[in-house]
């Protein structure tokens, strides 16, 4: 079963805050002095955004440069609620968990990740290998118990919210689903085909990896994040925990790869590089899925 472990609150707190409003997290920096600035302090320029001090000191006229829409650190539009998608994802996971409690095991049996298995002597053979490819996605929203969903949702809030603010909604959502699908694909490829797996941990480990890339780009101390990662991996590979380590590793690798493209993409080809990286990882997911399906059938 796929579980998320460890507190990631320290990593979340490493996300920059506005230099004029320390209580506001932001993923945007002044293009001249590189100080973090919140939407209230952003002054649109022909390229990026500037802080009020740089505008007053560099414009000569006191008037802001040519206006453009505020952008996040990764180039996404700045929004009024930078954690909206994180809240929506948490809400969907909680709603599905409540449905699991109401319906029982039948819901998990129908939508969890399983390669190829027969649940009873007279039931049909089911699994991804039987054409139920939707299980690669739906398993990301199922959980195996109260502790499982509690740790996953706390991790999603602590890591996802600040990362969404830094990337922007579209890029954040792409990272989340690509990482989750990569975790599902690696689980499908390596794990026993009768092994049942479910949980959002693959996607969350992807956010974990992208957070590390962002912190490195901002020259933050990576030691707290590395320590958390080591603890998580130790728990992941503890046999008694019955954790689908494949989902964690697959999500983490995909998160680092996509996160690197999101953070380091050159400005002139930013969207092409960012979404191109997502497409490449998705292509790998498709290839792994087809290879495993051919093996099992």
Residue 3 lies in a domain: no
What's the domain range around 255?
9-15+80-296
pLDDT in tens, 62-113: 444 444 567 788 888 878 888 999 999 999 999 999 999 999 888 888 999 9
Residue 73 lies in a domain: no
CB atoms within 10 A of CB 14: 16
CB atoms within 10 A of CB 107: 17
Question: Which structure tokens are listed for 234?
Answer: 């130790």
Residue 25 lies in a domain: no
Residues 6+ apart with CB under 8 A from 247: 2, 183, 184, 186, 187, 197, 199, 201, 202, 205
Residue 110 lies in a domain: yes
Residue 62 lies in a domain: no
Residue 248 catalytic? yes
CA–CA distance, 276 with 259 (Å, rounded to integer): 12
Q: Which of 21, 248, 264, 271 is catalytic?
A: 248
Q: Which of 179, 201, 264, 271 is catalytic?
A: 201
Backbone dihedral angles phi then psi of residue 118, each to the nearest 5 degrees:
-120, 115
Residue 143 catalytic? no
pLDDT in tens, 142-194: 998 898 899 899 999 989 999 998 899 999 999 999 999 999 999 999 999 99
Residue 35 lies in a domain: no
Mean pLDDT of 42-52: 72
Instruction: Indicate which CATH number applies to the domain containing 185.
Output: 1.20.1540.10
Question: Which structure tokens are listed for 38?
Answer: 């919140």
- Centroid of chain to Cα 222: 18
């Amino acid at each position: 079963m796929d579980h998320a472990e460890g507190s990631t609150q320290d990593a979340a707190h490493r996300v920059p805050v506005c230099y004029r409003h320390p209580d506001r997290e932001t993923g945007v920096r002044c293009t001249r002095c590189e100080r973090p600035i919140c939407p209230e302090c952003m002054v649109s320029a022909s390229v990026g955004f500037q802080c009020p001090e740089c505008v007053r000191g560099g414009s000569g006229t006191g008037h802001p440069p040519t206006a453009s829409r505020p952008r996040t650190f990764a180039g996404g539009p700045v929004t009024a609620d930078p954690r909206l998608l994180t809240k929506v994802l948490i809400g969907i996971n909680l709603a599905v968990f409540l449905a699991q409690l109401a319906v029982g095991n039948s819901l998990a049996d129908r939508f969890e990740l399983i390669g190829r298995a027969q649940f009873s002597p007279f039931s049909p053979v089911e699994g991804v290998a039987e054409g139920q490819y939707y299980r690669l996605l739906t398993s990301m929203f199922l959980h195996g118990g109260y502790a499982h969903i509690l740790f996953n949702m706390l991790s999603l809030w602590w890591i996802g919210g600040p990362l969404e603010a830094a990337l922007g909604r579209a890029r954040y959502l792409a990272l989340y689903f690509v990482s989750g699908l990569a975790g599902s694909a690696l689980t499908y490829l390596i794990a026993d085909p009768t092994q049942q797996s479910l949980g959002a941990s693959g996607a969350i480990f992807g956010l974990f990896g992208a957070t590390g890339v962002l912190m490195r780009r901002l020259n933050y101390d990576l030691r707290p994040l590395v320590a958390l990662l080591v603890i998580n991996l130790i728990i992941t590979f503890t046999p008694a925990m019955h954790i689908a380590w494949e989902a964690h590793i697959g999500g983490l690798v995909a998160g680092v790869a996509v996160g690197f493209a999101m953070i380091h993409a050159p400005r002139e080809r930013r969207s092409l590089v960012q979404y191109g990286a997502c497409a490449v990882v998705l292509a790998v997911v498709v290839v792994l899925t087809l290879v495993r399906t051919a093996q099992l059938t």
